[in-house]
Chain A
Amino acid sequence: GAVVSQHPSWVICKSGTSVKIECRSLDFQATTMFWYRQFPKQSLMLMATSNEGSKATYEQGVEKDKFLINHASLTLSTLTVTSAHPEDSSFYICSATLTSGGTDTQYFGPGTRLTVL
């Protein structure tokens, strides 16, 4: 159990285009999902916290108009990178929170590698 999927697993796009990344909790419902980005040989950097049915909470320095997050259901959150540029190239990872036995645990998706040409 506790499987989180991401689609696509990798994407290459031209500068100026928008890219949508989907994050799904496959076998559980997640009220809260998180979006991270990770550069090579670095740890995960939290971008935003996504709560179902409400606006995402962005971390300081993350442009909310550039990284649009929608959490339309308890099993799906999407991240749209708008007007992507080469500096947006990165590994984007989502996580979904599973509540069980009174504790909350974050389970991560496999990541999406974005390359902007």
Chain B
Amino acid sequence: QKEVEQDPGPLSVPEGAIVSLNCTYSNSAFQYFMWYRQYSRKGPELLMYTYSSGNKEDGRFTAQVDKSSKYISLFIRDSQPSDSATYLCAMPRTSGSRLTFGEGTQLTVNP
């Protein structure tokens, strides 16, 4: 079993839709949770960083963590074609240690 599970998609939505991206993890040692966005042929870009259960909002993006269920989510409101990318969840066991990545979900937002 993988430590971090993420549905690879692909996920296709119309412009303006609310997008929900999710990851589950099996190792309770994970304490920090990150979401990266990766455009084709580019390096990943950090979107959100959380370390506690609950919600964290940044513009159109909301990261949600439920440690009791070992489940994290990223919500994108009012999705735009420019949001089309692969979204990767990532977790280090401790701050600064190596990251364990999900497989990545490929998202396409259609105009």
Residues of A whose CB lies within 8 Å of any CB of B are 4, 6, 32, 34, 41-44, 46, 49, 91, 93, 95, 97, 99, 102-111, 113
Q: Is B46 an interface residue (CB 8 A)?
A: yes
Chain A residues lying within 8 Å of B98, measured Cβ to Cβ, are 34, 46, 49
Closest chain B CB from A12 CB (angstroms): 15
Cβ-Cβ contact count across A and B, 8 Å cutoff: 54
* Tally of contact residues, B, Cβ under 8 A: 23
Q: Nearest Cβ in chain B — how far from A4, in angstroms?
A: 8
Q: Determine whether the beta carbon of A43 is less than 8 Å from that of B104.
A: yes
- Chain A neighbourhood of B103, CB < 8 A: 42-43
Looking at the assembled complex, report how far the CB atom of B72 sits from the nearest CB atom of chain A, in whole angstroms. Answer: 16
Interface string of B78-102 (1 = CB under 8 A from A): 0000000000101010011011011
A109 to B41, CA, bound (A): 11
Chain A contact residues: helix, strand, loop or mixed: strand
Q: Which residues of B contact A107 (CB under 8 A)?
A: 46
| A107 to B95 Cα, complex, angstroms | 13
Contacts A/B (CB < 8 Å), 22 sampled: A6-B43, A41-B106, A43-B101, A43-B102, A43-B104, A44-B101, A46-B99, A91-B41, A95-B43, A102-B95, A103-B49, A103-B51, A103-B95, A104-B95, A104-B96, A106-B46, A106-B92, A106-B99, A107-B46, A108-B44, A110-B42, A110-B43
